[in-house]
C-alpha cells in the first residue's frame, strides 16, 4: 500500500509568531509553553487542510522536548527562582507532552507515540507512520516534529562558545505537522520511503534532486528536528515540478537518515 502526504503545516524562524487566539483561548494560551502553542497551531492547520478531524495515530519526534517547562521546574527545584516547583511544569516537561496534549484535544484514543532519537527523531516518527499505513494497520497519521529554543538554553550554549550559532548554522526552532494517508486524492506527493542509516551512502534514486542538511539548515537554522523543515522544502520542490526529491539528514556524522518523496 502506498503512502501519501496529504498536507503539511510549519512554523520556522522565517515566520513570525502565529495568531494563537485563532486556535486557543487566552486561558489555554497562558498555561502552555511556546512549543505547546505552536504544536496546536501546526497540527490543527495540517488536519484541517487534510480534511481529517481525528487521526488514526499521533506520532511525534523531538530531540529535547519542552525546554521551557523543564527549565521552569528545575530552576524552582534548585531555588534559582522564588517559585515553588509546580506539578504542571513537571508533567509538561516530558518528551511526550506534545503528543499527549494533541491526543487529548482531538479526542484521539488510538496509537500515540513519541520518538526522542536525537537528530533523527523526526525520521523515526515518520518511519513509524509510513510502516503502519503500508501494513494496513491505519489509514492516516498525524506526524509532527517540535523543538524550542529558550533564553536560558541559549545562554548555556553561549558559555560553551556557540553564542547563538553552532557548526551547522544558526540555532533555531521547529514546529511541523503533516498528515500521512493511504488515500491518493488531493495528496501533495507520495512518501516513497524512509531509511535510518549507519552511514551516508550514494544509493539515491537516479535523477532525484538531493537536499542535504546544509541546504535546509542554511534556510531554517539548526536544531534536532530541522529535517522536518527540510521535508517541507522538498515538498515545495515537488510542487515546483521536481519528479523526485531526496532529503538527507547527516547529524554530526553520527546519525543518518534519508527520506524520498515523489510527484504523483
What pLDDT score does 31 carry?
82
Q: What is the mean pLDDT of residues 29-44?
A: 92
Cell of 3: 503512502
What pLDDT score does 238 carry?
98
- Asked whether the predicted pLDDT for residue 214 surpasses 80, the reply is yes
User: Which residue, among 76, 141, 153, has the nearest Cα to 108 in the 3D structure?
Assistant: 141
What pLDDT score does 67 carry?
82
Cell of 23: 486556535
Q: What does the mean pLDDT of the chain come to?
A: 90
Give the pLDDT confidence of 10-22 residue by residue, as tens digits. 999 999 889 999 9
What pLDDT score does 153 carry?
79
pLDDT band at 161 (very low <50, low <70, confident <90, very high): low
Give the pLDDT confidence of 68-122 residue by residue, as tens digits. 877 777 777 777 666 766 676 667 668 889 999 999 999 999 999 999 999 999 9
Alpha-helix runs per DSSP H in the chain: 26-30, 34-50, 67-77, 87-91, 97-106, 121-134, 151-159, 213-220, 227-239
User: Under a CB-based contact definition with an 8 Å cutoff, are residues 77 and 57 in contact?
Assistant: no
What pLDDT score does 74 carry?
76
What pLDDT score does 79 carry?
72
What CA–CA distance (Å, rounded) separates 182 from 3? Answer: 5
Looking up cell 519542552, which residue turns up?
A: 66
Q: Which pTM value belongs to this model?
A: 0.91
What pLDDT score does 55 carry?
98
What pLDDT score does 220 carry?
94
Where do the domains of the chain lie? 4-188
Q: Say which CATH architecture domain 4-188 belongs to.
A: 3-Layer(aba) Sandwich (3.40)
Q: Among 64-78, 105-119, 140-154, 221-235, where is mean pLDDT lowest? A: 64-78
What pLDDT score does 82 carry?
63
Chain centroid, CA 71 distance in Å: 21
What pLDDT score does 85 carry?
65
Phi-psi category of residue 186: left, alpha or beta, with phi > 0 → left and psi -120 to 50 → alpha:
left
Amino acid at each position: 500500500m502506498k503512502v501519501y502526504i496529504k498536507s503539511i503545516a510549519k512554523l520556522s524562524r522565517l515566520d513570525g509568531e502565529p495568531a494563537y487566539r485563532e486556535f486557543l483561548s487566552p486561558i489555554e494560551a497562558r498555561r502552555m509553553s511556546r512549543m505547546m502553542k505552536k504544536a496546536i497551531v501546526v497540527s490543527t492547520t495540517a488536519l484541517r487542510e487534510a480534511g481529517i478531524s481525528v487521526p488514526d495515530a499521533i506520532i511525534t519526534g523531538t530531540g529535547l522536548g519542552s525546554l521551557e517547562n523543564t527549565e521552569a521546574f528545575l530552576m524552582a527545584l534548585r531555588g534559582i527562582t522564588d517559585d515553588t516547583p509546580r506539578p504542571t511544569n513537571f508533567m509538561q516537561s516530558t518528551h511526550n507532552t506534545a503528543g499527549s496534549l494533541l491526543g487529548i484535544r482531538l479526542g484521539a484514543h488510538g496509537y500515540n507515540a513519541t520518538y526522542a532519537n536525537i537528530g533523527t527523531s523526526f525520521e523515526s516518527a515518520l518511519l513509524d507512520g509510513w510502516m503502519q499505513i503500508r501494513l494496513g494497520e491505519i489509514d492516516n497519521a498525524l506526524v509532527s516534529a517540535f523543538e524550542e529554543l529558550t533564553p536560558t538554553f541559549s545562554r548555556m550554549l553561549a558559555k560553551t562558545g556557540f553564542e547563538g550559532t553552532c557548526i551547522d548554522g544558526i540555532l533555531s526552532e521547529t514546529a511541523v505537522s503533516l498528515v500521512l494517508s493511504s488515500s491518493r486524492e488531493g495528496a501533495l506527493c507520495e512518501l516513497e520511503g524512509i531509511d535510518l542509516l549507519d552511514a551516508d551512502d550514494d544509493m539515491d534514486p537516479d535523477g532525484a534532486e538531493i537536499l542535504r542538511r546544509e541546504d535546509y539548515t542554511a534556510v531554517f537554522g539548526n536544531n534536532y528536528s530541522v529535517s522536518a523543515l527540510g521535508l517541507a522544502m522538498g515538498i515545495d520542490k515537488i510542487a515546483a515540478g521536481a519528479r523526485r526529491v531526496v532529503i538527507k539528514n547527516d547529524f554530526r556524522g553520527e546519525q543518518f537518515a534519508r527520506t524520498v518523496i515523489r510527484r504523483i
